[in-house]
Amino acid sequence: MTRVFSGIQPTGEQHLGNFLGATRNWAKMQHETDAFFCVVDLHAITIRHDDRAAVRDGSVRLAQMLMAVGLDPEVCTLFVQSHVREHAELSWIMQCNVSYGELSRMTQFKDKSDQHDFISAGLFTYPALQAADILLYDTDEVPVGDDQRQHIEITRDIAERFNYHYGETFVLPEAVIPAAGARVMDLQQPTSKMSKSLDSPKGTVGLLDEPKQIEKKIKSAVTDNDGTVRFEVAEKPGISNLLSILGAATDRDPASLADEYEQYGPLKTDTAAAVIELLEPVQARYRELEADPAETARLLKLGADKAREIANSTMERVRTNVGLLTD
Ligand code: TYM
């Protein structure tokens, strides 16, 4: 059976980009594959948080949101990264098998290091931890949004290099990127992706936003003065973003949706309505789950126990192949 792994950071509010680009697809894939989904709290601490509860509380809230989106801990394996110590251990070995030059070419590092004063070494070696996450589980497929493409490529490069030097050890993973919704853009700055770190509350649709807020944000999305509805990302980023969102929300092709609209107003109205309808059940379910954090903790522990079994056996293979003294 195909093994799937993906991860998501527990800081900041989850937004429409995370949902359409990643988590909604995870909920679909869990039924057809052997799926592992991870709340990557060790990745979140590559940036310093003034409030130490932010990561801890964020992990519980994110796990609840993932279940609200449809992940069923009885069907898939849902766990928190720091609960499975092998992630940190393999990350070190990955750091010893990736070059400074490769890490320097990561666009996410360049973007994030521009946004912070304290640039941790962990932010720089972040892709080595991500490679460890994926390779620990003999992963075949990694469902992610388009912004993670480069991180999956470097994971493959590290795995190939490792297998060449130390003998066949890791499965080479493939990125699985959705046809629509892979790159949801900020509604106010449609040439930048919708992001937790962009600090653009009017341009970001939070998964817990009230319907009225969602409507307001989508109706005030930045467009252009050309007045025709066409799907042309470079020339018409704002309109193309709305078409992509509507396409992803309704399972339609964004380019063919464009033929159904002559004006921007109706496109905005329909996009807002489709997003509100899509998020309504997620919000209702989240409100139920939020009331019982102890149950969430119990489910996460079960997930970690399942994940640890596989991580453990991969690490034994890695330690032997890399040449460490095993007992
Ligand atoms: P993160 O937490 O930034 O995002 C989680 C998932 O959401 C997708 N995403 C988007 N998709 C479409 N449009 C957007 N605007 C948008 N913003 C975010 C991301 O592509 C991602 O799939 N490094 C990863 C977490 C990670 C990981 C892993 C992923 C750690 N280990 C192993 C896969 C496999 C990250 O920061 O995602």
Backbone angles phi, psi at 167, to 5 degrees: 95, 155
User: Is the same domain home to 90 and 176?
Assistant: yes
User: Is the same domain home to 123 and 73?
Assistant: yes
Residue 187 has pLDDT above 80, yes or no: yes
Is the C-beta atom of 245 inside 6 A of ligand 1? no
Is the C-beta atom of 258 inside 6 A of ligand 1? no
User: Is the same domain home to 120 and 19?
Assistant: yes
Kindly report the CATH number assigned to the domain that includes residue 311. Answer: 3.40.50.620
User: Is the same domain home to 28 and 153?
Assistant: yes
Which long-range contacts (C-beta less than 8 Å, at least 24 apart) are formed by 99-105? 102/154, 102/157, 103/127, 103/128
User: Is the same domain home to 130 and 229?
Assistant: no
Q: Which residue has the tokens 């002559």?
A: 262
Query: Active site residue: 28, 110, 112, 301, which one?
Result: 112
Query: Which ranges of 51-148 would DSSP assign to H, the alpha helix?
Result: 53-69, 86-95, 100-104, 107-115, 121-135
Q: Identify the pLDDT of residue 12.
A: 86
pLDDT tens, residue by residue, 295-314: 999 999 999 999 999 999 99
Is the C-beta atom of 40 inside 6 A of ligand 1? yes
Backbone angles phi, psi at 193, to 5 degrees: -70, 150
Greater confidence (48 vs 76) lies with 76
Instruction: Give the span between the Cα atoms of 268 and 214, in whole angstroms.
Output: 11
Domain assignment of residue 253, given as a range: 201-287
In a domain, 126, yes or no: yes
Q: Which two tokens stand for residue 290?
A: 């939020």
Give the residue-averaged pLDDT of 20-27: 98
Using the mean position of ligand 1's atoms as its centre, give its distance from the Cα of residue 167 in Å: 30
Residue 264 has pLDDT above 80, yes or no: yes
pLDDT tens, residue by residue, 212-226: 999 999 999 999 999
Instruction: Give the span between the Cα atoms of 198 and 190, in whole angstroms.
Output: 12
User: What residues are paired with 37 via a beta bridge?
Assistant: 6, 78
Q: Where are the beta strands (DSSP E) in the chain?
A: 3-8, 34-39, 77-80, 141-143, 174-176
Number of domains into which the chain is organized: 2
C-alpha atoms less than 13 angstroms from C-alpha of 70 in its C-beta half-sphere? 15
Q: Which atom of ligand 1 is nearest to the CA of 186?
A: 15
Q: Which two tokens stand for residue 42?
A: 């060790």
Whole-number percent of the chain with pLDDT over 70:
100
Give the residue-averaged pLDDT of 63-74: 98
In a domain, 193, yes or no: no
User: Is the same domain home to 153 and 241?
Assistant: no
Minimal-distance CA residue to ligand 1 atom 5: 8
User: Is the same domain home to 25 and 136?
Assistant: yes
Range of lowest pLDDT (25-34, 149-158, 196-205, 227-236):
196-205
The SS3 assignment for 190 reads coil
Q: Identify the pLDDT of residue 146.
A: 96
Minimal-distance CA residue to ligand 1 atom 16: 17
pLDDT tens, residue by residue, 249-261: 999 999 999 999 9
User: Is the same domain home to 62 and 175?
Assistant: yes
| Other CB atoms within 10 Å distance of the CB of residue 215 | 18
Query: Active site residue: 28, 193, 268, 301, which one?
Result: 193
In a domain, 190, yes or no: no
Is the C-beta atom of 130 inside 6 A of ligand 1? yes
The β-bridge relationship of strands 141-143 and 174-176 is parallel
Kindly report the CATH number assigned to the domain that includes residue 211. Answer: 1.10.240.10
User: Is the same domain home to 7 and 140?
Assistant: yes
In a domain, 194, yes or no: no
User: Is the same domain home to 312 and 269?
Assistant: no
Using the mean position of ligand 1's atoms as its centre, give its distance from the Cα of residue 36 in Å: 15
C-alpha atoms less than 13 angstroms from C-alpha of 86 in its C-beta half-sphere? 22
CA distances from 40 to 55, 78, 219, 311 (A): 10, 11, 34, 15
C-alpha atoms less than 13 angstroms from C-alpha of 105 in its C-beta half-sphere? 8
Residue 50 has pLDDT above 90, yes or no: no
pLDDT tier at 200, thresholds 50, 70, 90 = confident
Is 28 designated active site? no
User: Is the same domain home to 249 and 307?
Assistant: no
Q: Which two tokens stand for residue 232?
A: 């042309």
In whole numbers, what is the pLDDT of the chain averaged over residues? 96
Q: Which two tokens stand for residue 32?
A: 């057809």
Residue 140 has pLDDT above 80, yes or no: yes
Minimal-distance CA residue to ligand 1 atom 33: 6
Using the mean position of ligand 1's atoms as its centre, give its distance from the Cα of residue 319 in Å: 29
Is 306 designated active site? no
User: Is the same domain home to 11 and 140?
Assistant: yes
In a domain, 191, yes or no: no
Is 216 designated active site? no
